[in-house]
Amino acid sequence: MMTERPRRNRKSAAVRNMIRETGLSVSKLIFPVFLVDGKNQQIPIASMPGIHRWSLDLLLKEIEECMKLGVQTFDLFPAVDESLKDKEATYSYHPDNFYLKAIREIKKEFPESCLMSDVALDPYSSDGHDGYVENGKILNDKTLPILAKMSLAQAEAGIDIIGPSDMMDGRVGYIREELDEAGFTETSIMSYTAKYASAFYGPFRDALDSAPKFGDKKTYQMDPANKREALREAELDTLEGADFLMVKPALCYLDVIHMLKEKSALPIAAYNVSGEYAMLKAAAEKNWIQYERAMPEMLLSIHRAGADIILTYFAKEFAQMRANGSI
């Protein structure tokens, strides 16, 4: 005779809902969006079906739609014309930078929105790397002042969360000190703490035309084989003043997300990256997978692993499904 029958707790939707351990709300999602200069621009990204590069006028409409669905936080990424790029990424903090102007305008139109930035040289660098390049090497300490100038310009424009994605040593502390000295003590930092040298970034680089002009990013992004190294990065970022810790990508690094959640008192974010998005979209397009079930399951698994916050290109679609009651 069996006294333990776990299936009794699965016998109906009411029982299953009552004991469900993990629930993902729209408020946990950050929607990454791509910004271009100009007007009336909605440029599809071929490797990311449903995702576009937006000019500010149309992006404002997109943000309005998202906010009505409950998505309130947006991570802004600029697609910069090649003519504006140089070795020191000076356009990143130039007063005429369309990205900085867009931050101001979005905060003016939607003061209740939360805006996150991207801080790295690659969108603005003629070398396509996240750090300053000299004689074929990425120089860590020469990069830090540039990142600080970029961060300060973004804070002055009204950004809520600075997002250093460069993986230079010491950059969180350097940026935090510069922000605090300038009076931006309330500007948060979400550090890309464990950003791996992953094969899943390809579509993102298509979106921004930001692939390295030579070599790869393995001297600063983490080795996918390493897990404990993330603890060291997390400890350093915490001591240097980070407010959130991020793991990127998400799906292949659920164990790292879980580990940091167990070890850190800070909120843990995970970036459900472009390759993960494209992979699911491609499978759904061929009817190899049931998208309406697979997409929420993917996000739920990231949240269940320990991510308090998920940056995902699925954010708007998830919110739409939640609004129409399909999930």
Tell me which amino acid residue 25 is. Answer: S
**Is-catalytic flag, 248?**
yes
* DSSP one-letter code for 282: H
The first and second tokens of residue 141, run together, are 């300490």
| Contact predicate 235/159, CB 8 Å | no
| Contact predicate 223/229, CB 8 Å | yes
Q: List 161's β-bridge partners, or say none.
A: 116, 188
| Contact predicate 99/78, CB 8 Å | yes
The catalytic position among 195, 217, 261, 281 is 195
The catalytic position among 248, 261, 281, 316 is 248
**Is-catalytic flag, 261?**
no
Burial of 127-152, coded b for 16+ CB within 10 Å and e otherwise, reads bbbbbbbeeeebebeebbebbbbbbb
| Contact predicate 283/289, CB 8 Å | yes
Euclidean distance between CA atoms 207 and 215, whole angstroms? 20
Euclidean distance between CA atoms 164 and 148, whole angstroms? 10
Euclidean distance between CA atoms 186 and 77, whole angstroms? 22
3-state DSSP assignment of residue 190: strand
Euclidean distance between CA atoms 98 and 56, whole angstroms? 9
Euclidean distance between CA atoms 246 and 79, whole angstroms? 23
Q: Which residues belong to the active site? A: 195, 248
